[in-house]
Amino acid sequence: MTAAQSQALPNPMQRALARLGLPVDEAAAMAGPLGVTPKETIHACGTLKLHHYKPLADSVYRVPVLVVTSLVNQPYILDLVPGQSMVEFLLRQGFDVYLIEWGRPRREHKDLTLEDHVLRLLPGCVDAVLRDSGEKELSIIGYCVGGLLSVLYAALTPSSAKAAPLKNLVCMAAPINADGLVSLKAWMGEGFDEEALLEQYGNVPADWVQNTLRALRPFGKLAGAANLLNQIDNEDTVRSNLRMGKWESDNIPFPGGVFRQMVNDFLRGNQLVKGTWQVGGRRVELSKIRQPLLHLLAQDDHITPYASASDLVRLAGSRDKSEHVVKGGHVGLVAGRGAQTRMWPALDAWLAPRSV
């Protein structure tokens, strides 16, 4: 593209991308396909797929790792491209990595509940990992809503059981205390009609999820674009931000049954920290989590603010438990420069000695 053609483009972002030789379309500006670390699908159930990644180290830790992703975002945020992939990092450190891709629920999946995910689908993946690896225990790493699902699973899976499969629990930005989700509670309080939304769509549409997350930081996209323009001469930074921006706008529908429970029991009732939340007729008690526990948090997380996440370590019954806060936001926690220099090494340093 010539300089004259570049200047003819309608906005500064497009002109800046053109000067770098990148396509104007942000989606097309990605540096190749995302989520390409070699893997195979070893288990499937409905829309769910369980992936096993090929090893990238000469020796592998005994205890496999199961990554539990969010229900409303694509899992490739944890595996963007080589060099910007938490999955790749873990593999190179010698971990045996499995990952749950929940898939895109359709209208016929509108009645899926937390019971389905925590008491059926997630345990099914745990069993598949243990069969495939030949081990009797595993570690779980849960991100965002995936972290909440992992917490529920851990609390409802007695660590004292003879064949307890969960050895270590790592959460990344897992919401625990709904009172810390001030903006969401203000929006989805008693005046919010979730039943009308679910009656119309069955599941919560992906664009509705996306607009909700953007509303938590109304000027976030504009501020991000301005910050990107200030770094436009750094091609690696531009490409990294565009990858994360692509993921942030690539939401998937929220299963209707889970959404109903999250709004009523978690967000409005704040039943998890109160110790009154029941899943499958069983009360979820965080004190029953006894496994070694690490909670990784972002200092400037607007989706899972510190006030909504800090109670996990306080309330868990684990003796070996810690919280680690790094600079950055919700996405940068797992995929940004801070993740590569601070969060991933901290995760490795904590998990490695507990995986032998």
> Is 171 noted as a catalytic residue in this protein?
no
In the chain, the amino acid numbered 94 is G
Distances (CA, A) of 169 to 136, 146, 242: 15, 12, 31
Q: How far apart are CA 184 and CA 213, in angstroms?
A: 9
125, 144, 265, 311: the active-site residue? 144
What is the C-alpha separation between 39 and 106, in angstroms, rounded? 25
Catalytic residue status for 330: yes
Contact present, 71 and 81 (Cβ < 8 Å) = no
Active site residue 45: no
Reported as half-sphere exposure (CB side, CA atoms, 13 A), residue 272 has a value of 28
* Concatenated DSSP letters of 154-223: HHHS-TTSTT--EEEEEEES----GGG-HHHHHHSSTT--HHHHHHHHSSB-HHHHHHHHHHTSTTHHHH
**3 burial via Cβ count (<10 Å: 0-12, 13-18, 19+):** exposed
Give 84's DSSP letter.
B
Q: How far apart (Å, rounded) are the C-alpha atoms in residues 303 and 326? A: 15
Where in the sequence numbering do the catalytic residues fall? 144, 301, 330
